[in-house]
C-alpha cells in the first residue's frame, strides 16, 4: 500500500494558453486533433472543455500523480452536451467518423466485456466502454471514454451514417438531468499503451472516486498457485471433497498456496421453503439463482464438520466419481426441464411424458445424494455440548492449515447481494426487500445469459443501502473469525437492475461499494477480495478505491476467446486493478493453450481441476514445488499489430500477447 501523502500546499492548476499545446478544437461542427478532423457533423449542443478549465475539488491523489496528470493536461479534455428537457436516459450524437480504424471494448453481457474493431461510428457495439482511434496523420491515437457525470453514467452506442452516440442514464425515472459538461473524456498520445495510463490517471484525478492499481496493494496470492473448487464440484462442494482435492496436489508435488471454496458453501433456500433450512440437493449453478441467503454463516454440510475428522491416520474416503455422476444427472434433469419448457412454448398441452421424465431424473438424483455429506460430521453441531470451535468452518480451516502447512489463503465465494437472489426478507437482522429487476435499454440485444434470466425471474432480496456496511461487515467479520482470509465477489452489476427506488444506479452503487470497501479494509487485510462479473465502467469508476484485483475475462471458455477477452480487457482494467485471468483445468483438451497464457499473464495461476483429474507434468512447468510462481512484472497485453484487428472473427489475425520479466516474453495463439 502506498504511504499516505505528506502535508503539502495545494497543487497549482493552470490552464495551458500556448497555442502550440492546443491539441483539440471544436468549431464549425468539427472536432479536430492537431488540425486533423476526428468527428464531423458534431451537433451544436455538444461542447468541449480542456481538462483543467474549471474549478474542481482537489482530489486525494498522491502528489506525484497529480503532477504527472497536470503535465499532460493539455492532451485531454471533456465532451459534454445540453438538452432542453431533462430525462433519466438521454442519447446524443458526438459527431461521426468513417474510414478511421478503431479498437473498442463493449459489454456483451451485463457483467462481461470484450474487444471490437471497425472503421466507422456505425461499427461500434452497444454499451461501448471506450473507443481508441488510430490517427496516422499525426502518428498518434485518440481515446474517447464515456464517464460518470453527476448521478448518470454513460456508454457509447452506434449511430446511423457513421455517428457516435453517447447514452447517459441514471437507472431511475426519479433521477433526471439535461446538461453535462464532462460526460466523455478525450485524450491523445503517441503510444497506444501509454494512452491508457495517461487517460485513466486523468480520470482518477477528475472523478476522485477510484484509485489506480499503482496506489493499492494487490492480494498476497498474486505470486502463488491455487485451486478453485467450482469445476470440480459445482454446488456439491463439501469438506471431504475439498480436503482430498488439496491433498491430491500436495502428493503430486504442486502444493496450493491458496484455496477458493466457490459457490455451494452458503446457507441459501428458496421462497416458499422452510426459512430455517438449507435448500437440498443442488448441483448446477442455474438451479439456485433464484435462491436467497437465509443465514450469514456456512451451510449445514460445512457447519456440521467435526474438527479433526480428516486428521487421523484413516480419514474418511472420497469418491471422485461422485461429483461427476451428480453433475451428469443434474444436466440430464436440466435438459428434461428445457424440453418441457420448449413444448409449452410450442403449444403442447399434454406434458405428461415430459413431467414423467423430469420426476424420474429428480428421484434418481435424490437417491444419488442419499447418505452423502455425513462422512465428516456427527449430525448437528448446534445440539452438541462441545465447544463451537470444534465444528464448522472454523474447525475445517484450522484442520486444513494443520495438515497443509503452505496453505496461506482460503477464500470463499459470494455474490454482491449475498446469494444470486440476495438476502431472504426476515431471515437475518438485516432489512431486505425483494425488488423486481429491470434491464437498461443499453443491454437490449446482448447475449442471452442464464444468470440474468434467473435473476429477473426471482428478483433480488436487496439489503437496504443504508445497511450495506453492516451487511458486509457482519459477513466478513464472521468469515475472518473462522479462518477465511478473502472473498471472491460475483455479480457486481446486479445493482443496476434494482436502482429505481434508490437514487439510481450511481448512488446505489456508491452505497454498496463503500460498504464493501470498508469491510475489505477492516476485515480482510485491505486487499483480500477478487471482483468478478464487474466489467462495466460503473464498477471501475465507483468501486475500486480499495479493491485491487478482478477478473478480466468471461468464465473459463475454450482456448482462443477467453484469452482474447483477457488480453484486450487488461488494457484498461489493468490501470485500475490487477488483472486476474481466471482458472483453467490442467487436464482439459486446451490446457496447454491456457497454461501458456497464464505463464505470462502477470497474475496468479490457479486451476479448477476435478479431484484426481490433473496434469502434474504441465503444472510443474508453471509452479515451483513450494507453490509460488515465476510471475511476470507487468500484466499481459496484445501486441501492437493486433490492436486494430479481430483475432476471433477476421480469420487471418494471430493473437499475440506480451509481457516482460527478466527477459521479454510473448505468446502466440493460432488455431
Confidence of residue 2 (pLDDT cuts 50, 70, 90): very low
3-state secondary structure 605-632: EEECCCCCCCCHHHHCCCCCCCCECCCC
Residue 654 belongs to a domain: no
427-482 pLDDT, tens digit each: 999 999 999 999 988 898 788 888 899 999 999 999 999 999 999 999 999 999 99
Are 131 and 120 in contact by the 8 Å Cβ rule? The answer is no
Is the model's pLDDT at 374 over the cut of 60?
A: no
Residue-wise burial string across 604-642, b where 16 or more C-beta atoms lie within 10 A, e elsewhere: bbbbbbbbebbbbebbeebbeeebebebbebbbbbeeeb
Neighbours of 407 (CB within 10 A): 21
Q: State the first-to-last Cα distance of the chain, in angstroms, to the nearest integer.
A: 41
Cell of 295: 443465514
The domain total for the chain is 1
Cα distance between residue 105 and residue 115, in whole Å = 4
Scan for cell 426519479, then name that residue: 174
Backbone angles phi, psi at 504, to 5 degrees: 90, 170
Residue 494 pLDDT class (50, 70, 90 cuts) = very high
Name every residue whose Cβ is closer than 8 Å to that of residue 345 and which is 6 or more positions away in sequence: none
Residue 75 lies in a domain: yes
CA separation for the pair 322, 291 (Å, rounded): 24
Q: Which pLDDT does position 669 carry in this prediction?
A: 65
Neighbours of 311 (CB within 10 A): 13
Looking only at the bridges linking them, the beta strands covering 292-298 and 46-50 are unpaired
Q: Which tens digit of pLDDT belongs to each residue from 345-368?
A: 999 999 999 999 999 999 999 999
Tell me how far apart the alpha carbons of residues 94 and 81 are, in angstroms, rounded to a whole number: 8
* Residue 228 CB contacts under 8 Å (≥ 6 apart), including other chains: 259, 260, 262, 583, 606, 607, 608
pLDDT of residue 90: 98
Q: Are strands 578-580 and 605-607 parallel, antiparallel or unpaired?
A: unpaired
| pLDDT on residue 217 | 95
Asked if 310 contacts 403 with a C-beta cutoff of 8 angstroms, the reply is yes
Average pLDDT, the chain: 92
CA pair distance 281, 368, nearest whole angstrom:
9
Tallying the residues shown for the chain, one arrives at 671
The DSSP result for 174-192, as a single string, is T--EEEEEEEEEEEEES-T
Q: Decide the pairing of beta strands 664-669 and 655-660.
A: antiparallel
Average pLDDT, integer, range 266-292: 95
- pLDDT per position as a tens digit, 202-247: 999 999 999 999 999 999 999 999 999 999 999 999 999 999 999 9
Percent of the chain with pLDDT over 70: 92
pTM value is 0.93
At what angle are helices 559-573 and 591-599 packed, to 10 degrees? 20
Q: Is 485 helix (H, G, I), strand (E, B) or coil?
A: coil
Based on the number of CB atoms within 10 Å of its own CB, is 49 exposed (0-12), middle (13-18) or buried (19 or more)? middle
DSSP 118-167: EEEGGGPPTTEEEEEEEEGGGTEEEEEEE-EETTEEEEEEE-GGGEEEEE
Render 555-604 in DSSP notation, one character per residue. Answer: SS-SHHHHHHHHHHHHHHHTTTSEEE---B-TTSTTHHHHHHHHHTSSS-
In angstroms, the CA 596 to CA 666 distance is: 10
pLDDT at 55: 43
Which residues make Cβ contacts (< 8 Å) with residue 190, sequence separation at least 6?
Answer: 139, 140, 141
d(CA 384, CA 389): 12
In a domain, 518, yes or no: no
The whole-number pLDDT of residue 292 equals 98
| pLDDT of the residue at 499 | 98
CA distance 174 to 507: 12
CB atoms within 10 A of CB 234: 21
Q: Among 180-184, 409-413, 591-595, which is the least confidently predicted range?
A: 591-595
Q: What pLDDT sits at residue 7?
A: 40
Higher pLDDT, 574 or 374: 574
Contact 400, 270 (CB under 8 A): no
pLDDT at 397 over 70: yes
Checking if the pLDDT of 16 tops 60, the result is no
Kindly state whether residue 148 falls inside one of the protein's structural domains: yes
Question: Contact 516/548 with Cβ under 8 angstroms?
Answer: no
Instruction: Quickly list H helices, 321-459.
Output: 321-345, 352-369, 392-403, 450-458
Average pLDDT over residues 480-503: 97
Cα–Cα distance between 369 and 27 in angstroms, integer?
71
Q: Which domain holds residue 201?
A: 19-208
pLDDT tier, 327 (very low <50, low <70, confident <90, very high otherwise): very high
Give the mean pLDDT of 54-64.
Answer: 77
C-beta separation of 164 from 491 below 8 A? no
Mean pLDDT of 490-504: 97
Output 370 or 566, whichever has higher pLDDT. 566
**Residue 30 placed within a domain:** yes
CA distances (Å), origin 209, targets 88, 194, 464, 506, 543 = 22, 22, 22, 11, 8
Q: DSSP character for 172? A: S
Strand partners, 430: none
The cell numbers describing 418, all together, are 449475498
71 occurs within a structural domain? yes
In a domain, 204, yes or no: yes
User: What pLDDT, in 10s, does the model give residues 637-655?
Assistant: 999 999 999 998 998 999 9
Instruction: Establish if 477 belongs to a structural domain.
Output: no
Amino acid at each position: 500500500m502506498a504511504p499516505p501523502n505528506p502535508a503539502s500546499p495545494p497543487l497549482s492548476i493552470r490552464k495551458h494558453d500556448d497555442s502550440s499545446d492546443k491539441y483539440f478544437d471544436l468549431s464549425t461542427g468539427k472536432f479536430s486533433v492537431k488540425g486533423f478532423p476526428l468527428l464531423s457533423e458534431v451537433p451544436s449542443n455538444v461542447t468541449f472543455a480542456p481538462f483543467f478549465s474549471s474549478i474542481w475539488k482537489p482530489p486525494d491523489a498522491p502528489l506525484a500523480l497529480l503532477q504527472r496528470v497536470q503535465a499532460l493536461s493539455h492532451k485531454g479534455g471533456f465532451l459534454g452536451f445540453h438538452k432542453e428537457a431533462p430525462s433519466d436516459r438521454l442519447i446524443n450524437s458526438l459527431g461521426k467518423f468513417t474510414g478511421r480504424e478503431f479498437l473498442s471494448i463493449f459489454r456483451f453481457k451485463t457483467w462481461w466485456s470484450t474487444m471490437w474493431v471497425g472503421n466507422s461510428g456505425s461499427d461500434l457495439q452497444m454499451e461501448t466502454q471506450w473507443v481508441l482511434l488510430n490517427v496516422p496523420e499525426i502518428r498518434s491515437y485518440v481515446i474517447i471514454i464515456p464517464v460518470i457525470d453527476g448521478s448518470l453514467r454513460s456508454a457509447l452506442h452506434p449511430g446511423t451514417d457513421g455517428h457516435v452516440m453517447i447514452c447517459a442514464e441514471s437507472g431511475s425515472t426519479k433521477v433526471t438531468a439535461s446538461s453535462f459538461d464532462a460526460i466523455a473524456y478525450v485524450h491523445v498520445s503517441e503510444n497506444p499503451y501509454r494512452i491508457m495510463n495517461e487517460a485513466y490517471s486523468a480520470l482518477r484525478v477528475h472523478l476522485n472516486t477510484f484509485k489506480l492499481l499503482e496506489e493499492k496493494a494487490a492480494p498476497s496470492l498474486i505470486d502463488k498457485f491455487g485451486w478453485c473448487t467450482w469445476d470440480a464440484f459445482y454446488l456439491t462442494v463439501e469438506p471431504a471433497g475439498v480436503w482430498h482435492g488439496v491433498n491430491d496436489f500436495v502428493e503430486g508435488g504442486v502444493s496450493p498456496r491458496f484455496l477458493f471454496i466457490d459457490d455451494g458453501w452458503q446457507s441459501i433456500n428458496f421462497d416458499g421453503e422452510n426459512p430455517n433450512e438449507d435448500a437440498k440437493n443442488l448441483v448446477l449453478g442455474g438451479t439456485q439463482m433464484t435462491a436467497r441467503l437465509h443465514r450469514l454463516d456456512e451451510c449445514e454440510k460445512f457447519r456440521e464438520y467435526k474438527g479433526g475428522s480428516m486428521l487421523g491416520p484413516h480419514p474418511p474416503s472420497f469418491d471422485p466419481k461422485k461429483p461427476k455422476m451428480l453433475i451428469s444427472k443434474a444436466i440430464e434433469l436440466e435438459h428434461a426441464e428445457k424440453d418441457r419448457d420448449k413444448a409449452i412454448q410450442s403449444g403442447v398441452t399434454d406434458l405428461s411424458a415430459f413431467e414423467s421424465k423430469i420426476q424420474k431424473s429428480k428421484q434418481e438424483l435424490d437417491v444419488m445424494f442419499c447418505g452423502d455429506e455425513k462422512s465428516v460430521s456427527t449430525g448437528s453441531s448446534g445440539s452438541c455440548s462441545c465447544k463451537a470451535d470444534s465444528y464448522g468452518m472454523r474447525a475445517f480451516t484450522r484442520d486444513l492449515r494443520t495438515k497443509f502447512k503452505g496453505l496461506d489463503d482460503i477464500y470463499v465465494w459470494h455474490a454482491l447481494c449475498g446469494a444470486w437472489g440476495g438476502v431472504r426478507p426476515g431471515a437475518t437482522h438485516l432489512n431486505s426487500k425483494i425488488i423486481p429487476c429491470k434491464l437498461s435499454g443499453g443491454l437490449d440485444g446482448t447475449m442471452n445469459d442464464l444468470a440474468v434470466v434467473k435473476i429477473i425471474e426471482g428478483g433480488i432480496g436487496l439489503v437496504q443501502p443504508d445497511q450495506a456496511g453492516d451487511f458486509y461487515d457482519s459477513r466478513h467479520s464472521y468469515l475472518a473469525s473462522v479462518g477465511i482470509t478473502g472473498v471472491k465477489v460475483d455479480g457486481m452489476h446486479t445493482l443496476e437492475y434494482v436502482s429505481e427506488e434508490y437514487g439510481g444506479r450511481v448512488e446505489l452503487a456508491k452505497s454498496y461499494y463503500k460498504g464493501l470497501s470498508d469491510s475489505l479494509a477492516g476485515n480482510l487485510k485491505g486487499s483480500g477480495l477478487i471482483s468478478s462479473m464487474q466489467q462495466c465502467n460503473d464498477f471501475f469508476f465507483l468501486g475500486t478505491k480499495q479493491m485491487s484485483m478482478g477478473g478480466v475475462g468471461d468464465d473459463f471458455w475454450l482456448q482462443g476467446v477467453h484469452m482474447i477477452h483477457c488480453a484486450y480487457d487488461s488494457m484498461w482494467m489493468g490501470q485500475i486493478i490487477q488483472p486476474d485471468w481466471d482458472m483453467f483445468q490442467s487436464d482439459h483438451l486446451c490446457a496447454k493453450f491456457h497454461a501458456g497464457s497464464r505463464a505470462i499473464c502477470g497474475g496468479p495461476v490457479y486451476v479448477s481441476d476435478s479431484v484426481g483429474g490433473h496434469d502434474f507434468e504441465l503444472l510443474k512447468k508453471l509452479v515451483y514445488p513450494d507453490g509460488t510462481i515465476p510471475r511476470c512484472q507487468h500484466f499481459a497485453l496484445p501486441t501492437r499489430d493486433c490492436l486494430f484487428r479481430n483475432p476471433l472473427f477476421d480469420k487471418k489475425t494471430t493473437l499475440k500477447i506480451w509481457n516482460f520479466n527478466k527477459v521479454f516474453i510473448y505468446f502466440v495463439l493460432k488455431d
